[in-house]
A and B are shown apart, each in its own frame.
Chain A
C-alpha cells in the first residue's frame, strides 16, 4: 500500500499539474505527531495524525483519549453527561468540563477540558503547549515561541492566570484545591499583570507551582 501502487495505476499522473512529493516539512510532522501521541499532555494545537502507513500505533496509549475532537461527541454533550461508575447508583459528576481559555495578546480562544488534568501543574504544561505553537502577535509576546519560556512566563510575574467562577467573579488560579477549581471554573483568562492589578486581582506568588496562600480580592468584573 502506498505510493508505489498508486503510481502504477493512476491516470492522473498525466494531469497538467505536477507536484513534488511532500517535502521534509511533512515528514517532520508525522514523526512529531508520534512523539506527541506518547506525551501524556493534551495539545490542542497538534495536528496529530496518529495514522501513518507503516507506523500504525498498535498500543492503546492513554494519550489517544486526548486527540482533539475524538471520539466525535459534542462538547455540549460531554459537559452534561453524568457518568455512572460501577453501578454504584451515584453520579460521579460530568464526564467533561470544557471551558474557554484566552491569552491576552493571542488572537484566538481555545477550549480545554479541565477533567483531562489532575493538577495545576498539568494544566500549566498543557496551556504552555497550546499557546506556543502559534504566533501571538505584536503585544510584546513574540518571545513566547518556546514552551519552557511560556511556562516560565506563566510562573513569572508578567502574566496572571485568572478564572471566572460560577458566581461570575474573577479569581486567581491556584487558590483553591484542584477539584474545587475544576467544579467552579467557567472560563480561564491569562491576563497581563498590569491589567490584573488594575482590576484589583492582586498576586504575590506564582499560583501554579507554589501553595503559599496569598490575599486575593474578589472583584465582580466581567472581562
Chain B
C-alpha cells in the first residue's frame, strides 16, 4: 500500500501537514514514508537544544528552511540558573551554515548568541528572512549591523526581551536603501537612541510593515508621523509612552491618525509604560479589535472593567507588577480585575496576572466564567498568601480551575497550597503540558500526584517545595515522556540523582550546584538544583561549566 502512490504524490500530500505531531506520526508509518517525509520536512522545532545534536538533526532532515530552538530552562529568566550554564547557539549555527544554504528562518529562545553567530547567519544564507531572538543574550549591536547589512530579504527582525550590549544606535542605518521587505521589527530591548530619521526612512520604504516595537521615549509628533507612514500597522508598542498622558487634550490634530490605527490594532504591549489608568482606558477603548494586551498593574481594577466592556475579542491578557518589591500595594489592582475580565471577555484563553491578594471564591468564579482557559498563570506577590478572606489555602480555587478548564495546557500557581491541590491537578488536568510550582505542597505526595496523574505533562518546574526522592524515583519512567524537569531548593538528594541516572540511561541528570562537587558531601544531602531532560544526543554535553555535574550510567560523576 505504501507503494501505491508515487513519491511525489506522497510528498505533495505531506506538504499539507504543518504540525510537527502529524509529521512525526507520518514518519512512523513505514520506512519509505519516514524517508519521504524527512526529505520534505521544512520546519523543525527543537524544544531543548541538548535533547539532540546538530548532526542528528542535519542527518535526518537535509532540507530544512526554518529552525526553532530553545535553550535554557524557563527559570533562567528569574536568575535561578547560574550564568554560564550553557545553551550556546554557535555550534548549531556553524553546523547549519554548512548544511542548509537555503535556510530562511531562525528562532531562538533563551540561548547565548554571539556576534560571531550573527555574522555567520548574515553571510551563510542567501535567502534569509526571519530572525527572532527571544530572551537571548551574548550579542551586541555590531552583530545586528551584520544582519541589517547582509540579509537583503529580511522580513522579520525580532529581539524581544533579549539582552543586547548596546554599542551604538547606528546599526539601523546598515539596512541598505534597497531593503523594502521588512514586515516586523522589534527592537524594544535596546537601550541607546537609534537614529530616528533612519527609522522613519526604513518605515517609509517598508510597505509590508505590520509590527513595530520601539525603544526609548518616542516624541509625540514623531510617533504620529511614523504611524501615518505605516497605516497597515497592527501591532504597536513603545517603551515609554510618556507622550500619552495629556495626549488627548493637547494634540487633537493627531487624534484621527491615532484612532484609525487603533481600530486595526490587535496586539498592544504597554508593559513598560507608566501610564495612569484613565489614559490607558481612553486608548484601550479605541482598540476594539484588541486580541492581546500586555500592561502594567497601573491599569487597576477599574481599567480592567473598562477593558472587559470594550474589548470583546480579547484572547490574551498579561498584567505585570509596577512595584514588585514594594511591601504595600501601590495601585488598586486586586483579584476583582481578573474576575471582571473573565466575565466580560468570552474569548479570553490566556492569562498572566500579578496581584497581591486572591480568594478561592474569586478563582472559582473565574473558572466558571472561563472554562476555555488554555494558559493560566497567577502570581501573588507573597508566594504563600492564603485566601485573604478565609485564610485558607487556595487549593479549592485552583482545583476549580483545573476541573472546569478542561483544555488547560499551562498552569502557574502561587499562594498557600497544600498537597491537596496537587491531587486535584493529578485527577483533572489531563491536558496540562506545563506546570510551574513555587513554595507549595507539604510532602512527596504532592509531586507524586502530578507525575502520576498528568498524562500530557511535558515540562515541570519546581522551586522551594518539600518534594524529594521518593516521588521522583517512583515516577522515573514518566520523566522520559517529558521534555524536562527542573527542581531547585527542594529536597532531592545526590544519592537519588545517581539512582535516577542509573535507572534511566536516556535521561540527562544534571546536578547544578555551586558548592562544589556533590560527592564531597554526604549522599543524602540535598542538591541545590537538578535539571533532568531526555536526550538522544550520543554524548552528554561537553560544554558544561564547573558547577554542573552529570552522571554516567555507572553513576560515576562526570565533569565537563
**A residues touching B (Cβ–Cβ < 8 Å)?**
1-3, 5-6, 9-10, 12, 15, 17, 19-20, 22-23, 25-26, 29, 44-45, 47-53, 56-57, 60, 62, 64-65, 68-78, 80-85, 87, 91, 95-96, 100, 107-111, 133-135, 137
Contact = CB atoms under 8 A, between A and B. Distances in A.
B82 interface: yes
B526 A25 contact: yes
A83 B322 contact: yes
B468 A22 contact: yes
A26 B491 contact: yes
10 nearest A-B residue pairs (beta carbon): A69-B78, A23-B524, A107-B546, A25-B525, A135-B516, A12-B474, A109-B83, A1-B442, A47-B489, A6-B445
B111 interface: no
B323 A134 contact: no
Q: Taking chain B's interface residues, is the majority helix, strand, or loop, or is none over half, making it mixed?
A: loop
A78 B379 CA distance: 16
A10 B448 contact: yes
20 contacts: A2-B443, A6-B443, A15-B474, A20-B524, A23-B524, A25-B521, A49-B464, A50-B464, A51-B439, A51-B440, A65-B325, A69-B75, A71-B325, A73-B324, A74-B135, A75-B78, A77-B161, A84-B322, A108-B82, A133-B514
B239 interface: yes
B118 interface: no
B351 to A, nearest CB: 15
A110 B547 contact: no
A53 B161 contact: no
B212 to A, nearest CB: 18
A73 B189 CA distance: 15
A111 B81 CA distance: 11
B491 A22 contact: yes
Given A6-B444, A10-B448, A19 B469 contact: yes
Chain B interface size, as a band, is: 35 or more
Interface of B: 75, 77-80, 82-84, 135, 161, 163, 189, 239-240, 271-272, 274, 276, 298, 320-325, 327, 330, 354, 379, 381-384, 418-419, 438-440, 442-445, 448, 463-466, 468-471, 473-474, 488-491, 493, 495-496, 499, 514-516, 521-522, 524-526, 528, 545-547
Given A1-B442, A69-B463, A100-B83, A26 B322 contact: no
Q: Taking chain A's interface residues, is the majority helix, strand, or loop, or is none over half, making it mixed?
A: loop
Nearest to A109: B83
Contacts of B78: 68-70, 72-75
Contacts of B83: 100, 108-111
A82 B443 CA distance: 40
Given A68-B80, A71-B379, A110-B83, A12 B448 contact: yes
B325 A95 contact: yes
Given A51-B464, A69-B75, A19 B516 contact: no
A141 to B, nearest CB: 13
Given A68-B79, A74-B135, A83-B322, A15 B473 contact: yes
A69 B80 contact: yes
Contacts of A91: 274
A107 B547 contact: yes
A74 B265 CA distance: 26
Nearest to B327: A60
Nearest to B444: A6
